[in-house]
Structure 1
Amino acid sequence: MTLSYGSLSIAQLSTLIQGGSVDPVTVAEQVLDAIESHDDKAVFISLTRERAMAEAHASSKRLNDGRSLGLLEGIPVAWKDLFDVAGSVTAAGSRLLLRDQAPAAVDAAVVSALASAGMVATGRVNMSEFAFSGLGINPHFGTPKNPRSTDVARIPGGSSSGSGVAVASALVPVSIGSDTGGSVRIPAALNGIVGYKATRGRYPMTGVFPLSGSLDSLGPLCRSVQDAIWIDAAMRGAMAPTASRRPLAGLEVVIPTNVVFDDAEPGVVAAFEAAVERLSAAGVMFTRLEIPAFAEILQLMASHGALVTAEAYWLHKARITGPDAGLIDPRVVSRTRFGEEITLPHYLDILSARKRLIEAVDRLVGDRLIAFPTVAHVAPLLEPLKTDDQLFVATNGKTLRNTLLGNFLDWCGVSIPCGAGDAGMPVGFLLSGLARGDERLLSVALVAEPVIRGETI
């Protein structure tokens, strides 16, 4: 049986490449062929085969010459369709942009950074149009099917839908996504993989199609926390990762008692609590307490509107009110138009309240990390959400609820699979840290991951 290189973690594949067991050209050819022959044609919007093979050949030559660029040399990567990749159109999952935009002249800063680390760009993966949904449904390019569901189509989660499915389907070892309200962590949780959302501003945003400048952040969807640490270092242009293993004994973690468990599926709660028990046995100390800011954030959204909606409306006003608005997903248009009702005073009130709430939560949490289920439910059925607008809105809101709290409070976070819920679908354990606590978060997650997964105690 032929080994599928797309099914391996970065660490596993790197070992093969660095050891000379496999050549980057062979890896790239197999990965690209697997993508093209894959049954689900909605995962990738386009391939960058010519670029990928050129990068793979260059990687192969460096290795043969003894000039490896490091651990990521020759590793395939897929890019969410909002990163500029030189020579191709950045469409952000939109037919309108695909028609109107010129091909990117240069790579986005993070695309360039990973290329400089020796990675091989395989192509653009699908997403919710303009990254404005947590469900991953795209009427233009199709909706990638959640590969963890074996009997009926379920959503992939969004907006980094193609990223989550590409990794979970063993097509690539890693895909880079964006996260404005949960768009890395949600598809990671629903597809049973690891998703790391960095603190906003950790990476340069040049060449990344925006949704909300106040909230947009980036991160990898991959197979392990170790993989995420390696990608994080390369995206920052660091020579080597700085996160290191930290003992779990004595680690203090807060579990919020309000909002995040409201209407959660019993299977999700059970999987999360089982992971908590395993971590407790490993010496982690949990404190359950109310975080008042959570309720205040939801109340602020209800009374003033959402920060993301205000900024998305400013960004897309000409598109959603122009003559080609009919080419945009009607649900995206409808949701974006809510931003028209958010006045400047309300917008400034939101920003002021955000600063106050971040300071309050920082004081309350202190040096502790925070843990709760990434999503309160497993991946819902796809077909009903395609036609029922009311169900779509309600499900989208519930899917985003837990993760958007972290975006508003400027947290970093890692979603790690912790078991299964209804229909055997994956459940995500979200471990979060306060702003700029990425190194500590990743260091702890590296050691906690096998315990959270139930692989060891």
Structure 2
Amino acid sequence: MQPHLTMVQTASKLREGSLDAVELVSIAIGKSREARGVFISLDDSALDAAGQSAQRRRFGAPLSPLDGIPFAVKDMIDVAGMRTTAGSTTRIDSPPATRDAAVIAAMRAMGMIPVGKTNLSEFAYSGLGLNPHFGTPTADFHANAPRVPGGSSSGSAIAVQRGIVTAAIGTDTAGSIRVPAAFNGLVGFRASTGRYDMHGVLPLAVTLDSLGPLARTVEDCVLLDGAMRGRMDRPASPTPLAQLRFIVDSPVFADAALEAAVAANLRQAAARLRQCGASVEVRPVRTLMRTRESIEAHGWLGAIEAWRLLRPVVEGERGGQVDRRIRNRLVAAKALDRQAQARIRALRAELMLSMLHELDGALLITPTVKHVAPLLAALEDDDDWFATSNLATLALTMPGSLLDMPGVAMPSGVDEQGLPTSLLICAPRGHDDRLLRACLAVESALQAR
């Protein structure tokens, strides 16, 4: 199998004229029709948009270097003329969106072309990515024993992993970009909540909901981040590793649930960063421990907000259509009271400030997930295992979401079966640009390894 192009490589071929937008979009649409469960719907206007892009290129007037590049959109985000289903048949007859979400409009203004809406965990409420209504998308590197794609942005990740598109957009409330990136050997960027205009994005838990790109490289994610904000500045330059400090949270290595390959690959990555001149400490991050304790003691803020939003659906006449596993998780949040929410919010503000001070300019490194992608069949057949595995899968991403820490998940290696492992680099809230510049340098160092 030939390696798939990155978005940067695709942009270069478009500029040179060795590819054109019509070819790219035609291939993407053809592949999407063959890939079971990846897309919920396709954009009928994509080929027309590709023709317009190709004409702009012929006249030497592209809208941006990304003009003509197709991308996939998680079906929580409005695309004009298309339904936003949230992966649920309860919304299958909702009217099409009359306008693009703000981030989609910004990307179209760069000439980028949405080719379709991707599948997801129903209502974006699971870290595993199963969907009984539209099928569960799976990666093509373990077809004989399919693994879960990770959720909730499952279709967005698999669309990139399978080479249908070079880039996709997802949402992330508790790990929904970072987890599918980890399970599929991709890079995923969960931004601070204020970084993108959320107009036209279907909410799940408004305090924690964020957006971000999924792609093959950090470099691609940086370009996509700019496009989502309507910016095409000079490409960000990597921060020299000698100027960077990292803290690896040491207690994770004592966790019995941490798989050996995940631990070994994280240690090797840390060693490589040291070799390249970075400062790498391995020690406990107390604020991270306190955040985990808060979630365990008081409950998950995202569950409280999701139940409030989706209760009318779950308890309404169409409630029986909701995936039972998702419905059970939502109903479980009903027991969390208003006092719990107030306690969580107060402690959250304190913990966010504490993390800023404790890191003191350093970046936090953990595994993205403690394990590689679990087998799909086992989770389809056992609801109790599904619930247990879902919590385990989100255990390392939920604290960052609660603290609104931007995070980049990137490949750290593979296990003995060839399944991807991933590390997660996080910064305090609002330090997105600093994080991305650092991750450009980390990617370069790890690729050289």
Q: State the match for 1:27 in structure 2.
A: 24
State yes or no: 1:45 paired with 2:40.
yes
Between the aligned partners of 1:261 and 1:108, the Cα distance in structure 2 is: 43
**Residue type matched to 2:448 in 1?**
T
State yes or no: 1:15 paired with 2:28.
no
**Identity over aligned residues, as a percent?**
39
Is residue 260–residue 402 contact of structure 1 (8 Å, CA) maintained in 2? no
State yes or no: 1:413 paired with 2:425.
no
Superposed displacement of residue 80, structure 1: 0.4
Q: Pairwise CA RMSD of aligned residues?
A: 1.5
Superposed displacement of residue 419, structure 1: 0.5
Is residue 164–residue 175 contact of structure 1 (8 Å, CA) maintained in 2? yes
**Residue type matched to 1:29 in 2?**
S
Superposed displacement of residue 242, structure 1: 5.6
Is residue 365–residue 425 contact of structure 2 (8 Å, CA) maintained in 1? yes
**Residue type matched to 2:438 in 1?**
V
Q: TM-score, normalised by structure 2?
A: 0.97
- Give the 4+ runs in structure 1 shifted more than 3 A: none
| 1:349-408 CA-partner distances (Å, limit 9, x unpaired) | 110010011111111111001111111000000111012111111110110010111111
Structure 2: 5+ residue runs without aligned partners?
A: none
Structure 1: 5+ residue runs without aligned partners?
A: none
Between the aligned partners of 1:131 and 1:307, the Cα distance in structure 2 is: 15
**Residue type matched to 2:29 in 1?**
L
State yes or no: 1:288 paired with 2:285.
no
Between the aligned partners of 1:414 and 1:388, the Cα distance in structure 2 is: 31
Between the aligned partners of 1:261 and 1:118, the Cα distance in structure 2 is: 48
Q: State the match for 2:166 in structure 1.
A: 173
**Residue type matched to 1:134 in 2?**
G
Is residue 352–residue 428 contact of structure 2 (8 Å, CA) maintained in 1? no
Between the aligned partners of 1:307 and 1:142, the Cα distance in structure 2 is: 29
Q: State the match for 1:358 in structure 2.
A: 352
Between the aligned partners of 1:250 and 1:235, the Cα distance in structure 2 is: 28
Superposed displacement of residue 258, structure 1: 2.6
Q: State the match for 1:389 in structure 2.
A: 383
Shift of the 114–261 alpha-carbon distance from structure 1 to 2, 3 Å rule, reads farther
Between the aligned partners of 1:29 and 1:146, the Cα distance in structure 2 is: 21
State yes or no: 1:207 paired with 2:207.
no
Q: 2:340 aligns with which of 326, 338, 346?
A: 346
Superposition pairs for residues 47-446 of structure 1, below 5 Å? 47-48=42-43, 50-99=44-93, 101-241=94-234, 243-259=236-252, 262=255, 263-446=257-440
| 1:328-359 CA-partner distances (Å, limit 9, x unpaired) | 01111111112221211111111001001111
Q: SS where residue 124 of structure 1 aligns? A: strand
Superposed displacement of residue 315, structure 1: 0.5
Superposed displacement of residue 232, structure 1: 0.6
Q: SS where residue 314 of structure 2 aligns? A: helix
Between the aligned partners of 1:308 and 1:90, the Cα distance in structure 2 is: 21
Is residue 260–residue 372 contact of structure 1 (8 Å, CA) maintained in 2? no
Q: SS where residue 395 of structure 2 aligns? A: helix
Q: SS where residue 434 of structure 2 aligns? A: helix
Between the aligned partners of 2:164 and 2:281, the Cα distance in structure 1 is: 40
**Residue type matched to 1:324 in 2?**
R
Q: SS where residue 423 of structure 1 aligns? A: coil
Superposed displacement of residue 304, structure 1: 2.3
Superposed displacement of residue 293, structure 1: 2.8
Between the aligned partners of 1:221 and 1:79, the Cα distance in structure 2 is: 10
Between the aligned partners of 2:429 and 2:313, the Cα distance in structure 1 is: 33
| 1:254-305 CA-partner distances (Å, limit 9, x unpaired) | 1112357622001110111111111111011111222223333333233322
Q: SS where residue 89 of structure 1 aligns? A: coil
Is residue 134–residue 186 contact of structure 1 (8 Å, CA) maintained in 2? yes
Q: SS where residue 251 of structure 2 aligns? A: coil
Between the aligned partners of 2:70 and 2:102, the Cα distance in structure 1 is: 18
Between the aligned partners of 1:438 and 1:305, the Cα distance in structure 2 is: 27
Shift of the 57–332 alpha-carbon distance from structure 1 to 2, 3 Å rule, reads same
Superposed displacement of residue 165, structure 1: 0.8
**Residue type matched to 1:305 in 2?**
G
Between the aligned partners of 1:403 and 1:206, the Cα distance in structure 2 is: 24
| 1:4-37 CA-partner distances (Å, limit 9, x unpaired) | 9xx311111101111112221121112211222x
